[in-house]
Structure 1
Amino acid sequence: MVLSDNIKNMFASFALQTQKAMDRYTSFRVGGPADILVLPQTVEQVIALAKTAHSAQLPITIIGAGTNVLISDKGIRGLVMVLTRLQQNIEQTEPSIDTVDASPDRIYLTALAGEPLNRLCRYAADAGLAGLAWAAGIPGTIGGAVMMNAGSFGSDMSRVVTKIEVLDLNTFKTMVLPVSLLQFSYRKLALENSIVLKITIRLSRADAETVRDEFNRNLKTKQSTQPVSQASAGCFFQNPPGDKPAGFLIEQAGMKRARCNGAMVSDLHANFIVNHGNACASDILNLADQVKKSVYEKFGINLKEEVKTIGD
């Protein structure tokens, strides 16, 4: 998109970048240019940017750490906000006496959406707070983790979230949504036309050494069974219904180590597609299509993507 001088002037007060390649903002290390890219640092900046984009009639795309997305080679039109700088000190509070769950063992942690999930996990482990160790080794921000209902080791974000604060893009007002109003499902939160700004989770006091041991054990498991040091977007496909996960099906379909130029199905975990340094988004998508076709031909199962593809 060619941006007019008028639109550029509307964003003049922000530290924006135009036609900025998105490869450095995703864990896949691929992605074409964003028309306008901004990394807001405060909630107030997010609100102001959203209002400006609305006035300029530009679409808005929100990205966290880019760990569960694939950006097309043609890039993203409109305004892209990367929220990795939207952070503050993690707040720790106890339940008030009139709280429904006022157990003295309960502790609430509140963080802005750009807070790395791993940092929150380690904070909880060091503080002896149980309930989040399952997320050890999951990359990305807490905001992204909520939006995709990230999960591992039999748990997910829906088990710990108590409320979120969002910006409604219809009214441009912030509102707090309790968990009772949130529709979580497998790897998804049904939240339309809103930007997650702040998250509160509920944990429990526990023995600090026990919590740290669980955290470290889960982290080592992730590191030994997944290609965490390679450029990928995590598990590419959702696990289908049944007791056979996507990785097993892909491997049994003979697609482990399959390649399309610089993209390859990981030889460590078959539900990971990795970028060996020179892949583009189309290589990854073509390889994913080959994987889906092979699994369907062998098992009659249609794999669904867990990674979200965005852009033209």
Structure 2
Amino acid sequence: MRSSAEVTQHHTMLLFDESMAKHTTWRVGGPARYYFQPADVADLSDFLKSLPDTEQILWLGLGSNLLVRDGGFGGTVIALRGCLNEIEIIPGNRLRVGAGAASALVARQAARAGLCGAAFLAGIPGTMGGALAMNAGAFGSETWQRVINVQTIDRRGVVQRRTPLEYKVAYREVQAPGEEWFVACELQLEPGDVEAEREEVQRLLKRRNATQPVGQPSAGSTFRNPPGDYAARLIEAAGLKGFRLGGAQVSEKHANFIINTGSASASDIEALILHVQQTVEQHSGTALQTEVHIVGEPA
């Protein structure tokens, strides 16, 4: 195994055999063969052109909503944390947001500018790119309700603008026209009361902190809510709140969160996910779908 080498130019970073435990909110996961952080979209485009067609690519924001198995990821991770993170107010009460911008920061910047409609993003623990890819939502609102266009990039490094009409958007699901990834978007907001919107963001953050295990390593919501019900309710009804497997535990605070108590491996977490699915199905007949993406090889 090669030791971690670093190549930097214009803040471009390419690491080899980089531990994914450092980059995911669960703090577990084996090494990625390559870990690349672009300086900007042009740099990203050049890098994508250089990859073989067969290369597996994993896009990474803040590392929430993701479980990388203990054997690691045998392809290339493209990390947008700390890059492609511009947030710009543009005419027409719109925000132009880079895919690497933290969703919670977008909520705060919009409120500061006196623009309403983005407060819910304060409840999403990832980046705008991740929010676009899965139509993330919180507190009754969803990302794509605000999107007016997106900028994407494909494997050949070609950048395009697309409109929401070109996507099939559903609850926690977005089907793209081809193999493309989001690099930016424009959100339509409304002018409003700066103070009221700021208070709303604070209120939603407080609510998140009160109801979710914010200080502990988790990946956000583990399962999608089934139609007309809540995953947390079903998990609790099956008697699983606080249930542990190895170092992984169903949160005592919110049953749809699985936390790493400090010693969990990715396989502990995956085994607990499976146990919750099987138990809930036996108890209520509902098959819970994961909201979390599971990638990589077992140890």
Regarding TM over 0.5, the answer is: yes
Q: Which residue of 1 aligns with 2:125?
A: 139
Counterparts of 2:8 and 2:51, CA distance in 1: 12
Is the aligned partner of 1:67 residue 2:64? Answer: yes
Match of 1:297 in 2: 282
Distance 1:110 1:135 in 2: 15
Aligned to 1:189: 174
Instruction: Indicate the residue corresponding to 2:264 in structure 1.
Output: 279
* Distance in 2 (alpha carbons) for counterparts of 1:78 and 1:61: 8
Shift of 1:72: 0.7
CA distance in 1 between partners of 2:154 and 2:55 (Å): 16
The answer to whether residue 266 in structure 2 is matched with residue 266 in structure 1 is no
Q: Is the CA contact 1:161–1:200 (under 8 Å) kept in the aligned structure 2? A: yes
State the identity as a percent: 37
Q: CA deviation at 1:88?
A: 4.7
What RMSD over aligned residues (CA atoms) do the two structures have, in Å? 1.8
Shift of 1:21: 0.7
Q: Is the 8 A contact 1:40 1:85 kept in 2?
A: no
Distance 1:85 1:43 in 2: 13
Matched-pair contact (CA < 8 Å) for 1:53–1:60: no
- Bigger Rg over Cα: 1
Q: What pairs up with 1:82-231 in 2 under 5 angstroms?
A: 82-95=79-92, 107-169=93-155, 171-191=156-176, 192-231=178-217
Find the aligned partners of 1:12 and 1:271 in 2 and give their Cα distance: 40
Shift in Å, 1:46: 1.2
Alignment deviations for residues 52-107 of structure 1 (CA, whole Å, 9 cap, x no partner): 1127x422221111111100111111211111122354221123xxxxxxxxxxx1
* Contact 1:43–1:86 (8 Å) recurs in 2: no
Inter-partner Cα distance in structure 2 for 1:48 and 1:61: 17
User: Which residue of 40, 43, 46 corresponds with 2:41?
Assistant: 43
- Distance, in Å, in 1 between the alignment partners of 2:190 and 2:25 is 32
Regions of 4+ moved over 4 Å: 11-14
Instruction: Deviation per CA, 1:177-226: give whole Å up to 9, x if none.
Output: 01221221111211241121111111000011111121111111100000
Is the aligned partner of 1:22 residue 2:20? yes
Alpha-carbon separation, structure 1, partners of 2:30 and 2:120? 34
Q: Contact between 1:32 and 1:76, CA under 8 Å: does it hold in 2?
A: yes
Equivalent residues of 1:50, 1:60 under 8 A apart: no
Cα offset for 1:168? Answer: 2.0
Q: Post-superposition shift, 1:229?
A: 1.0
CA distance in 1, matches of 2:51, 2:119: 38
2:14–2:35 CA contact under 8 A, matched in 1: yes
CA distance in 1, matches of 2:8, 2:108: 38
TM-score by length of structure 1 reads 0.89
Of 215, 219, 224, the residue aligned with 1:233 is 219
Whole-angstrom distance in 1 between the partners of 2:79 and 2:157: 18
SS in 2 for 1:47: helix
Q: Which letter does structure 2 place at the counterpart of 1:25? A: H
- Contact preservation (8 Å) 1:53, 1:59: no
Looking at structure 1, the residues matched to 285 and 103 of structure 2 have their Cα atoms a distance apart, in angstroms, of 36
Structure 2 residue runs without a partner (length 5+)? none
Say whether the 8 Å CA contact 1:41–1:83 is kept in structure 2: no
Does structure 2 conserve the Cα–Cα contact (< 8 Å) formed by 1:266 and 1:274?
Answer: yes
Under a length normalisation based on structure 2, what TM-score does the superposition of the two structures give?
0.93
